[in-house]
Structure formats: structure tokens, C-alpha cells
């Protein structure tokens, strides 16, 4: 004889059967097994994609530095100052002295007046006055004479309005002749004072 099972019992059995069969068994990783790496997903490009437009080569460094306008203008000003100094140096004339003398001739005074005019226009330029002699006489005597010649030129420039702080003197005696030879022409060219732009 067939026994009839109530509906609620059947329903309960079906639910328990579904629950037990639907639960997945947890994955167990054995101690000796490693976890496999995640698969690499490659991105495919659509046809017609321009790789050169979007690709950035990592090995190419990108220079983000900018040229400072102030540094380029400073270099330009320095070049202009150097050119102006060269022009002034070429314009400054030597003066010449008589034998065994540190006195300023009329010609030397006229030259110094022109030099002073240029130097007052260029008020930031410092000048070294170099006194020189011809080869006659001892080295010691000519060093002293060259110094007197340089100082005479310095005093005259100061009297003409050039700031004394901008002027320095040195004597080379007979050590720096500008003309070779042992005659009056060479000696006359070597008895001189020169005006050199001094670098700070």
C-alpha cells in the first residue's frame, strides 16, 4: 500500500537537497603547490590605430627645463660689455717720455686729456697704468723711473676728473719693450706709459 507523504515534508526535502548540491566545495591549496599567476590579458588594437601617435618611448628622457630669460639677457649684456671694453682699449693711447724723465710733454698732456674724456664716459671701467723705460740704465733705476712715469699719468687723469679709485699703477722698467733695437727710435718707443683695462 502506497503511503502518501505530506506536501510540506516533500518541499523540505527538495530544499535541503538543492542546498547540499548547490554549495561548491572550497578550493584547497596543498602546501607544495603554488598559486598559478593570473592570466595576462593582451589588449588588441583595432585596425588603423596609429601606434606612433600614442606610444611614448620610455628610454627617451623628456627635458622639462626652460631657458631662463634672465640668464640669456645676462650673457647678452656681458657680450656687449666685452665689446665695449675692447673698443675703449683700442681707443686709449699711450704717452711717451723724454730720456731719463717722468715729465709730461705737451703731446702727452693732450693724449691724457683725450683718454680722460673717454674714461669719464665709461665710469665703471678700471685702468692700470703701466710705466716703461728703454734698455739703458740698471733694472732697479728703470723700475723706479717707470713708476714715476705711471704716477705722473695717474695724477694728470685725476686732475682731469677721473676717479682715483679706478686707477692703479705698475712699473715694468725695461722688462717689456714695445720695440726691438738699440737705437734712438726704439728707445723713444719704449719710454712710455700704457693704459690697460683692468679686469675685476
**Do 175 and 165 meet the contact criterion of CB atoms below 8 Å apart?**
no
**Residue (of 40, 63, 43) closest to 54 by Cα position:** 43
156 within some domain: yes
154 within some domain: yes
108 within some domain: yes
39 within some domain: no
Residues in the chain: 200
- Decide: residue 144, CB within 10 A, 0-12 exposed, 13-18 middle, 19+ buried: middle
Write out the chain's pLDDT in tens, 200 residues.
Answer: 445 556 655 566 665 665 555 545 545 444 444 555 555 545 545 555 555 444 444 555 555 555 555 667 767 777 777 888 899 999 999 999 999 999 999 999 999 999 999 999 877 899 999 999 999 999 999 999 999 999 999 999 999 999 999 999 999 999 999 998 889 999 999 999 999 998 76
What's the distance, CA 45 to chain centroid? 49
26 within some domain: no
Q: Tell me: the pLDDT tens digits for 56-107?
A: 445 555 555 555 556 677 677 777 778 888 999 999 999 999 999 999 999 9
Count the Cβ atoms, other than its own, within 10 Å of residue 99: 12
**Do 169 and 129 meet the contact criterion of CB atoms below 8 Å apart?**
yes
Count of structural domains within the chain: 1
- Do the strands 95-96 and 167-173 form a parallel or antiparallel pair, or are they unpaired? unpaired
Dist. CA 151–CA 173, nearest whole Å:
13
Cell readout for 169 is 699703477
Residues whose CB is less than 8 angstroms from the CB of residue 189 and which lie 6 or more positions away in sequence, other chains included: 96, 178, 179
**Do 88 and 115 meet the contact criterion of CB atoms below 8 Å apart?**
no
CATH number at residue 102: 3.30.1330.60
Give the domain extent around 104. 87-198
Amino acid at each position: 500500500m502506497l503511503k502518501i507523504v505530506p506536501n510540506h515534508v516533500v518541499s523540505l526535502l527538495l530544499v535541503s537537497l538543492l542546498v547540499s548540491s548547490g554549495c561548491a566545495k572550497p578550493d584547497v591549496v596543498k602546501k607544495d603547490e603554488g598559486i598559478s599567476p593570473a592570466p595576462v590579458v593582451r589588449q588588441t588594437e583595432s585596425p588603423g590605430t596609429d601606434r606612433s601617435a600614442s606610444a611614448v618611448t620610455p628610454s627617451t628622457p623628456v627635458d622639462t627645463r626652460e631657458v631662463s630669460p634672465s640668464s640669456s639677457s645676462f650673457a647678452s649684456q656681458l657680450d656687449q660689455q666685452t665689446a665695449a671694453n675692447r673698443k675703449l682699449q683700442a681707443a686709449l693711447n699711450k704717452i711717451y717720455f723724454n730720456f731719463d724723465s717722468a715729465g709730461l710733454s705737451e703731446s702727452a698732456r693732450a693724449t691724457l686729456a683725450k683718454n680722460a674724456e673717454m674714461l669719464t664716459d665709461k665710469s665703471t671701467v678700471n685702468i692700470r697704468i703701466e710705466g716703461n723705460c728703454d734698455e739703458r740704465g740698471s733694472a732697479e733705476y728703470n723700475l723706479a723711473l717707470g713708476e714715476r712715469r705711471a704716477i705722473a699719468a695717474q695724477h694728470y687723469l685725476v686732475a682731469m676728473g677721473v676717479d682715483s679709485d679706478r686707477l692703479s699703477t705698475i712699473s715694468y722698467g725695461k722688462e717689456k719693450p714695445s720695440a726691438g733695437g738699440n737705437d734712438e727710435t726704439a728707445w723713444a718707443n719704449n719710454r712710455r706709459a700704457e693704459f690697460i683695462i683692468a679686469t675685476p
